[in-house]
Amino acid sequence: MTRLVGRISDGVFINMATPATIREIAGRVRAGAEEAGRDPAKIQIIAKVRVSLHPDRAMARSRLRQVLTFYNIADHYRDMLKASGFEPEVNAIQEAFKAGGFKAASALMTDAYMDKLPVIPATSVKEIKERLQPFVEAGVDRMIVPYVPVTEPVIEDARRFVEAWGNS
């Protein structure tokens, strides 16, 4: 499918993928473009990396933990995460969800596992930008960076993030 993207489209949008997975996908997309006689550099590689920002990293992680728990129990995303090499973690979270619900599943979303996933719980915008660099190095031309609010009211938290991003 990704080779077909390179043959016929202007780009590909990649969600919930590590830099290593993005590198593989980008390679297949560009190979497809070359096979079709197209310039691979003109195919946009777009990736989505969720971020949260709070002076207390544990707080930044807390909201991303909720989002990631959902991804680990939702069918399509679960399959994507397994394909990225996280099958043992996904299976354990799935079993916990079946046995004890969302809270039990979320308890298995460890910091160590989260650190391997394409999300960035950060204490500064500078840190976010530094941690986005491996995605660029993997071949991403354009980045979608959804902000996951940490504090209430959500609109104020989002506003603080946008201001911090703009001032960095």
Which residue from 108, 136, 144 is spatially nearest to 14, judged by alpha carbons? 144
Torsion of CA 33, 38, 41, 42, to 10 degrees: -110
pLDDT of residue 160: 95
Domains of the chain: 2-166 (3.20.20.30)
- Calculate ∠ Cα 86-90-94, nearest 5°: 170
pLDDT of residue 101: 97
CA dist 162 and 166 (Å) reads 6
Decide: 18 and 132 in contact? Cβ < 8 Å: no
pLDDT of residue 58: 96
Mean of per-residue pLDDT scores for the chain: 95
Measured in whole angstroms, how far is the alpha carbon of residue 2 from the centre of its chain? Answer: 18
* DSSP per position, 127-157: HHHHHHHHHHHTT-SEEE--B---SSSHHHH
Q: What is the mean pLDDT of residues 145-161?
A: 96
Q: What would the pLDDT profile of 32-51 be if each residue is shown by its tens digit? A: 999 999 999 999 999 999 99
pTM: 0.90
pLDDT of residue 168: 85
pLDDT of residue 84: 85
Amino acid (one-letter) located at 93: I
Q: What would the pLDDT profile of 68-114 be if each residue is shown by its tens digit? A: 999 999 989 999 899 889 999 999 999 999 999 999 999 999 999 99
DSSP 85: I
Torsion of CA 121, 127, 129, 134, to 10 degrees: -80
CA dist 163 and 168 (Å) reads 9
